[in-house]
């Protein structure tokens, strides 16, 4: 197996090379050149780590078995609050796949506890002594999960840019109180798309890369543009399906639907790859908030970012440019020139349209829908009242779109809902939705804990008392300048 760029299929790298590089020089994203089929029957009794090793080994074919086991041990043996890693909770309407039991209470932990150790082993494979600069843009959860994964890791420095007014108060405090000696957190007066665009530009800036090379530094990324971030996310879809089989909710081979609250498209793309590996998924339910560019794209085949950017109560999905969609389009058309043209159109014109064949594939595989902010709050209230279960706003968006999907009677298969964050991370929206009361965010946490009898995650409990360690806020135009200062390189 080799890794190719979506914009230049002739460029082929090994797994360790692609993971270290993060983004291709042509700004394309790395994807495996083939997908290995998994025999589900053989996996039924696997625990999480065993299943992960079975799934990931073919993708990491320049890693030996000992290295993969070492990475999995560091990632999952101690950092999650449940041995199941991603437990499945059965509700009347859906099965909720809880992806928030890691050290930062967000689904990003599943991959970002794995990625730093994957990179360390990649450096050994490539015999590199360079300092890795992990450059990351975040819409909220990736930032803290990446900081937690990479902090104090030898031979690595992590720099996170986030939209200063585009994350929840809890998300912001999680990042600003990070104490790693190799961690830098910088607020940007802009939105996530501004941060991501500048990060991508820096990752492929040849002049900057040359200066860093002289300094024995090299870039990589912890965003889902890095294929090493994407691969571990495949595992929990298989684990959820096999759990349903073991619980006799479905028979082996029976189809299911998967519903994912979607911003940057990485989580739902991991589900798509799992289907290519043999997981019987019938429909991918792509759920958006009012920044519903993906809903329109799935329905009409036109990706158009010429619309008002909205700050919503599901801020991790406040995204108009979904990077991982590029990977899906390559899987669909296998034409790097076509991908390159579409991405250039998006950069220049702010829109592109796919051909009729891709439109048909999108409608066959995906269902796109969205929820307004008021609908999101209504769902949180409704599910709590009916099921005594508390959804975070992003997961509530997905629940609402599942309801729309069922109204259209598209199919009657059981549906897994990806719950992407602890409700305690978005307490203002969650608590006011179930009580109509409002208070200080951390007071609402305490009241909610008393009301629902579920403990506040330990990483959030004393967050307000922690020391703020990062104070810098900048304009979008200054991102490259500030980055160069942190790296100790000159840039004209």
The answer to whether position 148 is within a domain reads: no
- Give mean pLDDT, residues 366-386: 98
Is pLDDT above 90 for 140?
no
Q: Does 491 have pLDDT greater than 80?
A: no
131-107-117 Cα angle (round to 5) = 30
Evaluate whether residue 81 is within a structural domain: no
- Tokens encoding 289: 């908030």
> Quick one: tokens of 462?
């004393």
Please report the pLDDT score of residue 30 as a whole number. Answer: 97
Q: Which of 51, 46, 53 minimizes the C-alpha distance to 69?
A: 53
Q: How confident is the model at residue 282 (pLDDT cuts 50, 70, 90)?
A: very high
* pLDDT tens-digit readout, 296-314: 999 999 999 999 999 999 9
Q: Does residue 335 belong to any structural domain of this protein? A: yes
Residue 425 is assigned to a structural domain of this protein: yes
In angstroms, how far apart are the furthest CA atoms of the chain? 63
Q: What percent of the chain has pLDDT over 70?
A: 100
Q: Has residue 490 been placed in a domain?
A: no
* Distance between CA atoms of residues 373 and 391, nearest Å: 14
Length of the chain: 492
Q: How many domains does the chain have?
A: 1
CA 404, 405, 408, 414 dihedral sign is: negative
**95 confidence band (pLDDT: 50, 70, 90):** very high
Using an 8 Å Cβ cutoff, are 134 and 155 in contact?
A: no
Q: Torsion-angle region of residue 372: left (phi > 0), alpha (psi -120 to 50) or beta? A: beta
- Name beta bridge partners: 219: 133
CATH of residue 336: 3.40.50.1100
Q: Are 265 and 331 contacting, i.e. CB atoms less than 8 angstroms apart?
A: no
In 48-191, where does DSSP find H-type helix?
48-56, 65-76, 108-112, 115-125, 141-150, 169-176
8 Å CB contact between 446 and 435: no
Question: Which residue from 57, 58, 75 is spatially nearest to 66, judged by alpha carbons?
Answer: 57
DSSP 430-455: HHHHHHS----HHHHHHHHHHHH--P
User: Burial, 269: exposed, middle or buried (Cβ in 10 Å; 0-12, 13-18, 19+)?
Assistant: buried
List the Cα angle 361/97/101 in 5-degree steps: 130
Domain region containing 343: 88-103+230-457
Mean per-residue pLDDT, 48-75: 97
Burial class for 404, CB neighbours closer than 10 Å (0-12, 13-18, 19+): middle
* Confidence check: pLDDT of 394 > 90: yes
Q: Tens of pLDDT along 415-474?
A: 999 999 999 999 999 999 999 998 999 999 999 999 999 999 999 999 999 999 999 999
Q: In this structure, is residue 308 part of a structural domain?
A: yes
- Going through 326-466 in order, the beta strands assigned E by DSSP cover 351-353, 366-370, 415-419
Q: Kindly state whether residue 147 falls inside one of the protein's structural domains.
A: no
Report the alpha-carbon distance of residue 146 to residue 302 in Å, rounded: 32
pLDDT value for 139: 86
> What distance in Å separates the CA atoms of residue 473 and residue 186, rounded to the nearest whole number?
6
Whether 94 maps to a domain, the answer reads yes
CB 130 within 8 A of CB 217: yes
Q: Is the pLDDT of residue 141 over 90?
A: no
pLDDT at 36 over 70: yes
In angstroms, rounded to a whole number, what is the distance separating the alpha carbons of residues 45 and 54? 12
What is the model's pTM? 0.95
pLDDT band, residue 492 (cuts 50/70/90) = low
């Amino acid at each position: 197996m080799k890794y190719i760029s979506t914009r230049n299929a002739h460029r082929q790298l090994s797994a360790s090379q692609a993971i270290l590089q993060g983004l291709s020089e042509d700004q394309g994203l790395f994807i495996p050149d083939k997908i290995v089929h998994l025999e589900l029957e053989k996996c039924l009794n696997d625990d999480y780590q065993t299943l992960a090793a079975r799934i990931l080994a073919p993708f990491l074919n320049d890693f030996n078995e000992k290295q993969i086991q070492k990475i999995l041990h560091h990632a999952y043996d101690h950092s999650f609050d449940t041995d199941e890693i991603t437990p499945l909770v059965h509700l009347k309407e859906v099965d909720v796949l809880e992806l928030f039991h890691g050290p930062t209470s967000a689904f990003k932990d599943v991959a970002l506890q794995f990625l730093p150790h994957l990179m360390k082993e990649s450096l050994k494979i490539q015999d590199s002594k360079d300092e890795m600069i992990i450059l990351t843009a975040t819409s909220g959860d990736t930032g803290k999960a990446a900081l937690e994964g990479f902090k104090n890791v030898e031979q690595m420095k992590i720099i996170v840019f986030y939209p200063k007014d585009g994350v929840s108060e809890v998300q912001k405090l999680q990042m600003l109180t990070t104490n790693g000696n190799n961690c830098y957190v910088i607020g940007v007066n802009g939105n996530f798309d501004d941060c991501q665009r500048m990060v991508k530009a820096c990752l492929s800036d040849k002049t900057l890369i040359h200066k860093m090379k002289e300094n024995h530094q090299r870039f990589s990324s912890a965003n889902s543009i890095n294929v090493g971030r994407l691969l571990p996310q495949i595992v929990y879809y298989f684990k959820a399906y096999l759990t349903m089989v073991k619980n006799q909710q479905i028979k082996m081979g029976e189809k299911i639907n998967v519903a994912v609250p979607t911003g940057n498209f990485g989580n739902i793309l991991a589900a798509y790859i799992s289907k290519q590996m043999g997981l019987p998924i019938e429909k991918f339910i792509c759920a958006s908030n009012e920044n519903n560019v993906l809903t329109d794209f799935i329905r009409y085949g036109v990706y158009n970012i010429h619309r008002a950017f909205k700050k919503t109560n599901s801020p991790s999905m406040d995204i108009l440019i979904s990077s991982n969609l590029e990977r899906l389009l390559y899987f669909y058309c296998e034409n790097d020139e076509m991908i390159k043209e579409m991405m250039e159109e998006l950069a220049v014109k702010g829109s592109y349209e796919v051909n009729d064949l891709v439109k048909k594939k999108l409608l066959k595989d995906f269902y796109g829908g969205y929820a307004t902010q008021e609908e999101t709050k209504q769902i949180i209230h409704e599910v709590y009242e009916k099921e005594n279960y508390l959804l975070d706003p992003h997961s509530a968006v997905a629940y609402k779109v599942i309801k729309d999907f069922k109204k259209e009677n598209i199919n009657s298969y059981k549906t897994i809902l990806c719950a992407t964050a602890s409700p305690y991370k978005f307490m203002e929206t969650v608590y006011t939705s179930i009580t109509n009361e409002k208070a200080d965010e951390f007071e609402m946490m305490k009241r909610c804990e008393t009301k629902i009898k579920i403990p506040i995650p330990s990483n959030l409990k004393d967050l307000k008392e922690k020391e703020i360690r990062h104070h810098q806020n900048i304009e979008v135009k200054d991102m490259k300048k500030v980055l160069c200062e942190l790296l100790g390189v000159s840039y004209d």
